[in-house]
Amino acid sequence: HPAHRSADGGFHREGSRAEAGSDDDAGGDRRQAEDQLPEKRPVVLAFGFFDGVHRGHQAVLQACLQLAREKKAMPVAVTFYPHPLTVLLPSASIQLLLSESEKEELFKQMGFETTVVISPTEEFLGQSAGRFLQSLSRITSLCGIVTGENFTFGKNAEGNAELLNSYFLDKGVFIQIVKLEKAEGGVISSTRIRKCILQGDVKKAGYFLGRPYRICGDIIHGFRRGTEVLGFPTANLKPERERAVPGDGVYATRAFIRGRQYPSVTNVGTNPTFGNKERSIETFIFSFDEKIYDAPFALEWIEKIREEKQFPDIEALRRQIEEDIKRAKQILEV
């Protein structure tokens, strides 16, 4: 597996797993940064949390791939998981745009053979910016670092791109700071994309991401009502915890099951017509086949169609769903 997982924020060679909190360099620990990356081959690192791997992140990652080609070095995406905030504040719930494995998969698709996933500990996050830089400078194979202009590091985010630049100025490490990508009157950021998704604007989120927003999940059993009362059997998606879910409403979606695409329509909400207590995500696949409801399932959110509403009776809801399907087919061009 190409990902090198690090339990304490050090840069470890594959297989040299470390105990969290034990990398005190004063003790001459063996797991020092210089012997932590896969090989002695020169490396160019792209640093970031990269939640979403949106168009701004893609610019940073492409710059890293390009620099690595120029330097005949290995490009390495260095990222963090879980979110540093949830380490410092366990009660914080942050709604992420990608799971860890989805993020790694996107790096791979872009051309990164190697990813380092740092699982940040409180110690790692509490270290000074200076100490973070020192540990980087001990990687003898390091020949370049690429980050976005808003990258920060060290305790209280005291280190920034400028400090990174000045620190490495005379050390033979090329630092490239990539400008933030802008669209529709603002900078593209994970926070902005999360807001779009929560507000139901999945179309704009997809534009900022450079691909439709996608959620993978397990199928859970829903209410039999879908089949028996309405005549629209639905697959119920249960996303993993801490995942950004589009706001309540009806959406044109594409379901992916065992590598196949299925145009579909998805309702998010509490089904006010029936007064459910729990929020559900229910997908009706147009070309329904019993068998496909038992497989892992990914959903791409293309465009919102309408708000979820309370209908006076089941027949009125059923007629509206027929309209939703027509509209979704137009949007999905099927």
Q: Which stretch binds ligand RBF (CB under 6 A): 70-78, 111-119, 146-154, 308-316?
A: 308-316
The encoded tokens of residue 306 equal 């309408």
**CB 76, CB 143: distance < 8 Å:** no
Does 226 bind ligand RBF (CB under 6 A)? Our answer is yes
**Closer CB to Mg ion, 52 or 226, in the complex:** 226
267 binds, among Mg ion, ligand RBF, none (CB under 5 to 8 A by kind): ligand RBF
**Which secondary-structure segment (H or E) carries 263?**
strand 260-269
273 binds, among ligand RBF, Mg ion, none (CB under 5 to 8 A by kind): ligand RBF
**CB 304, CB 198: distance < 8 Å:** no
Residue 328 beta carbon to ligand RBF: minimum distance, rounded to whole angstroms:
8
Residue 253 beta carbon to ligand RBF: minimum distance, rounded to whole angstroms:
10
| CA torsion through residues 137, 140, 143, 145, sign | negative
Q: Which residue has the tokens 């003790």?
A: 27
Does 319 bind ligand RBF (CB under 6 A)? Our answer is no
Q: For 120, phi and psi rounded to 5 degrees?
A: -70, 135
Does 238 bind ligand RBF (CB under 6 A)? Our answer is no
**CB 307, CB 300: distance < 8 Å:** no
Does 301 bind ligand RBF (CB under 6 A)? Our answer is no
Q: Which stretch binds ligand RBF (CB under 6 A): 3-11, 108-116, 151-159, 267-275?
A: 267-275
Does 321 bind ligand RBF (CB under 6 A)? Our answer is yes
Q: For 23, phi and psi rounded to 5 degrees?
A: -100, 55
218 binds, among ligand RBF, Mg ion, none (CB under 5 to 8 A by kind): none
Spell out, one character per residue from 134 to 163, where the chain touches ligand RBF: x when CB under 6 A holds, - when not. ------------------------------
Beta-bridge mates of residue 197: none
Does 267 bind ligand RBF (CB under 6 A)? Our answer is yes
Residue 255 beta carbon to ligand RBF: minimum distance, rounded to whole angstroms:
12
**Measured CA angle at 106 (ends 103, 110), to 5 deg:** 140
Instruction: State the number of binding residues for ligand RBF (CB under 6 A).
Output: 22
**Measured CA angle at 115 (ends 125, 4), to 5 deg:** 75
Residue 299 beta carbon to ligand RBF: minimum distance, rounded to whole angstroms:
13
**Measured CA angle at 296 (ends 101, 317), to 5 deg:** 120
| CA torsion through residues 264, 194, 62, 258, sign | negative
Q: For 74, phi and psi rounded to 5 degrees?
A: -90, 125
Residue 231 beta carbon to ligand RBF: minimum distance, rounded to whole angstroms:
10
The Cα 203–Cα 303 span in angstroms is 5
79 binds, among Mg ion, ligand RBF, none (CB under 5 to 8 A by kind): none
Does 230 bind ligand RBF (CB under 6 A)? Our answer is yes
Does 265 bind ligand RBF (CB under 6 A)? Our answer is yes
Residue 222 beta carbon to Mg ion: minimum distance, rounded to whole angstroms:
2
Does 200 bind ligand RBF (CB under 6 A)? Our answer is no
Q: In this chain, which of 11, 213, 232, 262 binds ligand RBF, going by CB under 6 A?
A: 232
Give strand ranges (E) for 234-325.
Answer: 235-239, 249-257, 260-269, 280-285, 297-306
Greatest extent of the chain over all pairs of C-alpha atoms, in Å: 74
